[in-house]
Amino acid sequence: MSADKMSMQSPHDAKPGLDDAEWARRRRANVRLGLLFGGIALLIFLASLWKYRPL
């Protein structure tokens, strides 16, 4: 089946969205929260190594 027959590829909806400032604010909040949880994962990894470090 050719790609153009797949109606999933139809970003046609040019609806009015939220304003740009609101989306920019959301994007910043998303990145901050992502970094927080990434940092927590890294800390747990380092703590699991540190706990059993060679003496």
Partner 1 sequence: MIFAALMPAATGFANWMIPLMIGAPDMALPRLNNWGFWLLPPAAILLTLPFSLALLGIGDGAIATGWTFYAPLSVQGGMGVDFAILAVHILGISSIMGSINIIVTIFNMRAPGMTMMKLPLFCWGWLITAFLLIATLPVLAGAVTMLLTDRHFGTHFFDAAGGGDPILFQHLFWFFGHPEVYILLLPVWGLVPHVLSTFSRKPTYGYKAQVYSYWAIAGLGVIVWAHHMFTSGMSVGGQIYFMYVTMAISFPLAVLFFCWIASVWRGSLTFETPMLFALGFLVLFGWGGLTGLALSDAAADPQYHNAYFLVAHFHYAFYPSAVMGAMAAVYYWLPKWTGHMLNETLGKWHFWVAVIGFNITFIPQFFVGLAGMPRRIPDYPLMFAEWNMISSIGAFILGASHLIFVYNVVCNIRGGKKAEARAWEGAEGLEWTVPSPAPYHTFETPPEIK
Write 32-37 long-range contacts (CB < 8 A, 24+).
none
Q: How far is the CB of 35 from partner 1 (least distance, A)?
A: 9
Q: What is the DSSP letter of 6?
A: -
What residues contact residue 4 under an 8 Å CB cut-off, 6+ apart?
none
Residues numbered 4 to 43 that lie near partner 1 (CB under 8 A) are 7-13, 15-18, 26, 29-31, 33-34, 37-38, 40-42
The residue ranges that bind partner 1 (CB under 8 A) are 1, 7-13, 15-18, 26, 29-31, 33-34, 37-38, 40-42, 44-45, 48-49, 52, 54
